[in-house]
Amino acid sequence: MVTARSGGKVHVLAGAHHFRFDNGLPPALTVEPGDTVIFECLEAYGGGLGPDSTVDDLKRLPFDAVHCLTGPVAVGGAEPGDAVEVEVLEITASQWAWTGVFPDIGVLAEELGPDSWALQIWHVGDDGRAELRPGAGVRVPVEPFCGVMGVALAEPGEHLTMPPRRVGGNIDTRHLIAGSRLFLPVEVPGALFSVGDGHLAQGDGEVCGTALETNVTVGLRFWLHKGRAPRAPQFETSRPTTSRVDGMGYLSTTAPVQDLREGVVASVHDMVELLTERYGLSRIEAYIVCSAAGDLRISVPKLGPTHQAFVTFNVPRAIFVTEPGG
């Protein structure tokens, strides 16, 4: 049974930062079902990168200092076996963001090799889109969301935000924008919810390993469902899960494969090649665009031992200011 939906208190939480899920952390705040919390969240490295950063700054970052979280918040009455519902009310973001290419993460990391370090700084224009660089003709719509939302695991000790787990974490789901609802299984008293990893935008798959990373302020309202814990995170969206700039259609690359990972690599590789040829982007720029705005899809799963999977990668044509020759 869901706790009665009624107006609750509004709390503000800023400065309560940590980098691990840990059920031993004392709650920075305790709320009741129906309460709203305004979270102030720093970019993934907790202020390690900003609008004036360079690729050398990226190289100096300790990889294990990610992601910066705000919390934890305890939900009154939450017990193991319950579900906490996180209602996303509003998200505001900084007008800049960064996308990094690291040589050891990302779909094409092995292909690009150890010298593939790159840092892209984006700035949001008056049209509400983030520009790749002046003259590139690539403008990505801004749809802020938080890449990390989760509650504490039952297992004691510190747990990295990656990989995504049954209790949430680095789920990087671009559909959790304002108006959506996330349902998380409770494993410890109070649930101990934390949030961070703000994004201006991201494609499904985040194929280079980062999105448009930035600082965000997010308003979340908490509800409690007694005895209704899902097996893994579930969510409801506030709009269709296609891109909101799909009116001009898509560029799509495909890969019929036995192994899904090989299909992911092949379809992204081919899209990078297509974008460099058609729009004059460098390979790294094309890769960054794929992570920022491209959606990875499994069109056909492998249905049997003699069957192949069919992977597609889709990039909305509307992010390009002009078509070739236009």
pLDDT (average), residues 207-235: 98
Residue-wise pLDDT tens digits, 272-304? 999 999 999 999 999 999 999 999 999 999 878
- % the chain with pLDDT above 70: 97
Strands 83-93 and 69-75: unpaired
* Contact predicate 149/137, CB 8 Å: no
Residue 185 has pLDDT above 80, yes or no: yes
Instruction: Round to whole Å and give the CA distance between 62 and 44.
Output: 12
Instruction: Round to whole Å and give the CA distance between 226 and 213.
Output: 35
pTM of the model: 0.94
Residue 21 has pLDDT above 90, yes or no: yes
* Contact predicate 28/74, CB 8 Å: no
Strands 193-199 and 234-236: unpaired
Q: Which of 218, 155, 163 lies closest to 192, judged by CA?
A: 155
| Averaged confidence pLDDT in the chain | 94
Domains along the sequence of the chain with CATH: 10-236 (2.60.120.580), 246-319 (3.10.28.20)
* Contact predicate 109/116, CB 8 Å: yes
Instruction: Round to whole Å and give the CA distance between 271 and 287.
Output: 8
Q: Which residue has the tokens 């709390």?
A: 11
Q: What would the two tokens of residue 224 be?
A: 């409690």
Instruction: Round to whole Å and give the CA distance between 81 and 32.
Output: 18
Residue 2 has pLDDT above 50, yes or no: no
pLDDT at 5: 57
pLDDT (average), residues 70-91: 98
Q: Nearest 5 degrees, angle CA 70-CA 73-CA 77?
A: 165
pLDDT (average), residues 72-76: 98
CA dihedral of 80, 185, 188, 41, whole degrees rounded to 10: -160
